[in-house]
Amino acid sequence: MFSRVFVFVLAAALVWSAAKKITGSGRGENQDLILTVTLYGDPESVKEIVGDNLGGHYVVAQVNVQPKYGKEIIIDRDDFVLRTDSNGERTRPMAPNQIAGNSALVLTQTKESLGQGSEPRRGWSIGGGPIGMGSGGGGGGGESKSGKAATMEQSEKENPLKKVLQQKALPEGKLENPVSGLLYFPLEGQKLKQLELIYGAKETRVAMRFK
């Protein structure tokens, strides 16, 4: 009897653990290429694909790019945007050296003044410039906001994570053959159904949802 109960509890724990993972796939295309993308949206899933959970601050996209009809195309990291429905904000992927370089980003909790009657605002910033998600409005007055800001922290030693992120990153530049790799978006605490990946300019834009 005890063994049966133990097996049941263990099975339930495994199901619950699997349900916690936030992963999903999507597909989109334009006249030049086909994109197949898998999103890893929680620290446990990120650790499985990267080998590190990146502090729980990132959504990682595994991207496969397939050029059409033998065309030569140019892939640029900044052509990808991850958007969240929760507040409409967008974030672009970060380079491996920004995440784990000798001068890597360190995320810290911050507070600053907002206008009277405005909503609290959260976001990512480097030197006062936004790089990720945020919410809230303006006005004039004396409320405060809290959020995460990114500061630079120097280290004399090479961070081994940097090499791993570089090896796994989506290649950039001109290509004619299919390639695949990872993009690292500074975003956290989002549900899969809230996320939309957008690629390219308006005329050739590819937008996809995940399930």
The residues pairing with 97 across neighbouring beta strands, listed in sequence order, are none
75: Cα separation from own chain's centroid: 18
pTM above 0.95, yes or no: no
Residue 89: what pLDDT?
87
> What digits encode the pLDDT tens for the residues 4-18?
544 444 444 444 344
For residue 196, pLDDT beyond 80: yes
What angle, rounded to 10 degrees, do the helices at 43-50 and 160-168 form?
80
Residue 150: what pLDDT?
57
Question: What structural domains does the chain harbor?
Answer: 24-99+159-208 (2.60.40)
Residue 203's pLDDT band, with cuts at 50, 70 and 90, is confident
> What digits encode the pLDDT tens for the residues 125-182?
443 334 444 433 344 444 444 455 555 555 557 789 999 999 999 999 999 999 999 9
Q: Calculate the CA dihedral of residues 39, 41, 43, 49 and round it to 10 degrees.
A: 0
d(CA 175, CA 36): 16
